[in-house]
Amino acid sequence: MASVSTQPQFRYTQPPSKVLHLRNLPWECTEEELIELGKPFGKVVNTKCNVGANRNQAFIEFQDLNQAIAMISYYASSSEPAQVRGKTVYLQYSNRQEIVNNKTAADVAGNVLLVTIEGEDARLVSIDVLHLVFSAFGFVHKITTFEKTAGFQALVQFSDEPTATSAKDALDGRSIPRYLLPEHVGPCTLRITYSGHSDLSVKFQSHRSRDYTNPYLPVAQSAMEGSGQAMVGLDGKRLEAESNVLLASIENMQYAVTLDVLHMVFSAFGPIQKIAMFDKNGGLQALIQYPDIQTAVVAKDALEGHCIYDGGFCKLHISYSRHTDLSIKVNNDRSRDYTIPLTPVINVQPSVLGQQPVQNPMMGPPSQQQYNPYPPNSGQGPIPQSLAGWGTPPPPPPQHSMPMQMYNNVYMPPGTMAPPMAPGMPYPSQSTPQPASTMSTYGAGRSQ
DNA sequence: AGCACA
């Protein structure tokens, strides 16, 4: 049968439009390149690139029709064709009058992230764990969580878009480190897009929303009880008065827990000011002092019930101490004041530059070598599993205990301690938080 | 080298 050519597949003369259709573009041509191309002829108000099955078509929308006409007529008579990256591109009026960008809020970069927590036990991820995870990238202003058809979701507000973007790029598709979750909780994967919001409204501090910029925001429900020494959580559990000093007792202490090990474990959450260790009831206890309550709360929530070493050894039980400022009389292997700068001990001589620095003479040999016995089936010293970051073996315990040596360790938040859990995927260097910004993270806690 | 939400 003879096909009636009522609708020719291509019309060779298009009615003018301020939208131009471009084809034969280099693969994955960028918006910037399109703007460059159209700029000489007028104001490019919108573009859409990577169109079509081959992603080699695009649209340019000018502010005015005559600008589009100018571009078409110029190249119609030009001996040089329009080019992008040396490749000839073909121009024509589009058969549409405007570009419709189906950009949703999820595509527009902003300072607030929409986080979907995937997994059977997603609901069991606490807001504190989310706070900890996202704080690795900068100061988290606010978090709200809610239940939607998409599942358990959270909005996480950063100061600015670049910070949010660095968090999104680093965390999207990743799973929350196991050690931050209760043992029975299955894997929880984060799916992250941008939110349309720029400032979340948080009325109360509660188990579902937090405003970290305003620690004095009222706590939701009848959280206060009596004199304020104790509070009742939303689940009805009695809460102790929070403190910047934590009391840690260590159960099932099969291995030596040294000052340095404690320092390493607890400094994942913020700078440590002081540690004092002592024996009580035949067990080891330690007081760990942070500069602020907020950091202590995060550390307590993350570490409570967890074991320093794999296999249920050296299980931590953490409560808030009534102390607010420890009095450290002397720096020794059981107590230390990290706020007092020590005389520099390590001075790398020019002749040994590039070699390992000399070990701090104050310190004995590394704790792992000091301690016996090791488990029968392990020739290695135990490795603190709480620091096992994002599924990767943790760094060895610190060999030096000087404050300046510890500085980087102290301020390095958990998310930066280890490579991501996806093997072989490099951690984007740009998303690695700078110590300064991280300091502000921890520094912005409530003062007491 | 030929028009975008499938």
What is the pLDDT averaged over residues A66-95? 96
| CB within 8 Å of A424: residues ≥ 6 apart | none
Q: What is the pLDDT of residues A219-241, one digit of tens each?
A: 876 334 333 344 444 444 555 68
**Distance (Å, whole) CA A321 – CA A309:** 24
Query: Which nucleotide lies nearest residue A104, CA to C1'?
Result: B5
Question: Residue A143 above 60 pLDDT?
Answer: yes
Residue A5 has pLDDT above 60, yes or no: no
**Is the CB of residue A59 less than 8 Å from the CB of residue A22?**
yes
Instruction: Look at residue A4 in the predicted model and tell me its pLDDT.
Output: 53
What is the C-alpha to C-alpha distance for residues A300 and A304, in angstroms, rounded to an integer?
5
The protein side of the strand B contact, defined by CB less than 7 Å from any of its atoms, consists of: A 10-12, 14, 19, 21, 23-24, 48, 51-52, 54, 56-57, 59, 90, 92-96, 98-102
Nearest nucleotide (CA of A53 to C1'): B4
Interatomic distance A7 CA / B4 C1' (Å):
20
A227 CA to B6 C1' in angstroms comes to: 61
Q: How far does the CA of A412 sit from the C1' of B6, in Å?
A: 44
Cβ atoms of A159 and A111 within 8 Å: the answer is: yes
Q: How far in angstroms lies nucleotide B5's C1' from the CA of residue A53?
A: 14
What Å value separates CA A101 and C1' B6?
Answer: 15
Kindly report which listed range (A106-110, A229-233, A270-274) carries the lowest average pLDDT score.
A229-233
What residue spans of A150-237 are helical by DSSP H? 161-171
Protein-contacted positions of strand B (CB under 7 Å): 1-6
* Mean pLDDT computed over every residue of chain A: 77
Interatomic CA–C1' length for residue A67 and nucleotide B2, angstroms: 22
* Inter-CA distances, A127 with A132, A177, A195, A201, A269, Å: 9, 14, 18, 16, 15
User: How much of chain A exceeds pLDDT 70, in percent?
Assistant: 69
Using the CA of A87, give the nucleotide whose C1' is nearest.
B1
Structure confidence at residue A9 as a pLDDT band (50, 70, 90): low
Estimate in Å the CA A56 to C1' B1 gap, whole number. Answer: 10
Query: How far: A168 CA to B2 C1' (Å)?
Result: 37
Q: Is the pLDDT of residue A46 over 50?
A: yes
Largest CA distance in chain A: 102
Output the distance from A191 CA to B3 C1' rounded to whole Å. Answer: 33
**Angle (CA) A85 A88 A90, round 5°:** 125
- The model's confidence at residue A6, banded by pLDDT at 50, 70 and 90, is low
Task: Please report, rounded to whole angstroms, the spatial distance between the CA atom of protein residue A196 and the C1' atom of nucleotide B2.
Answer: 36
Closest nt by CA–C1' to A23: B1
Closest listed residue to residue A150, CA positions, set A128, A175, A119: A119
Give residue A252's pLDDT.
86
Nucleotide nearest to A96 (CA to C1'): B3
Region class of A311: left (phi > 0), else alpha (psi between -120 and 50), else beta: left
Nucleotide nearest to A13 (CA to C1'): B2
Nucleotide in closest CA–C1' contact with A89: B1
Lowest mean pLDDT among A48-52, A327-331, A348-352, A404-408: A404-408
CA-CA distances (angstroms) from residue A381 to A167, A366, A394, A396?
Answer: 34, 10, 13, 10
Instruction: Give me the DSSP letters along A332-396.
Output: SSSEEETTSPPPP-----GGGTTSPPPPPTTS-S-HHHH--PPPTT-SSPP-BGGG-TTTSPPPP
* Residue lying closest to nucleotide B4, CA to C1': A51
- The stretch A246-257 carries a mean pLDDT of 90
Considering only CA atoms, which residue is closest to the C1' of nucleotide B2? A10
